[in-house]
Structure 1
């Protein structure tokens, strides 16, 4: 579930999310809504805290990539440094590529890597309609 923008949803929806995809601000908002004390904790620890409720969590970090956590496992995928032309559609490209990888049987770490790659490619083009498919 891509909870962007973060809105109030029943806890059972968060619990069923596999993965829950949010950016850093949304991750903190969701954590606070769940009653988790996350004040000042690193983003990787925030992902792990949310993964105690959701089945898995991915927190997007823009140009810094993404962190992920799932039932005691976690990691970070760094984004390649590129010239950013337009961020329109980058989050959608990330989620689309990640979900495509997951539906093809990739593990979460690999799927997040594909998402980061797609998001990185998307920001190098103007607008959301001119991007090319990521394979």
Structure 2
């Protein structure tokens, strides 16, 4: 099997998501369990690739929530702030593996006159499993 080159742009483009990132409002998530080095990007099932990362939510310049197939959420807190990530709300990554890991690099994407331009490139941190806080708790 030849290595897969995966180029993905993941974005949260809603105005409410941008407001959350700028205002750093509290969320309804709390850490659960031990942080992991990698999350699955996709899984091969028979002849189809099933994408495991369903969506992302950029919370600010150093925090991204990865929402997985099946409802699991992993929060990645970058070791350093990534310029414009919280404002632009979109990024890309490249990998030849079926996993995204803490050693991988993301690149912020900028809207430039109808096109997309690359911005800052930043390293990922570990992926912390998160769970929703029950109502009233």
- TM-score range (shorter-chain normalised) is 0.3 to 0.5
Q: Which of the two has greater strand per residue?
A: 2
| Greater RCO, CA 8 A, separation 6+ | 2
**TM-score, normalised by the number of residues in structure 1:** 0.35
Structure index of larger Rg: 2
Q: Which of the two has greater helix per residue?
A: 1
**TM-score, normalised by the number of residues in structure 2:** 0.34
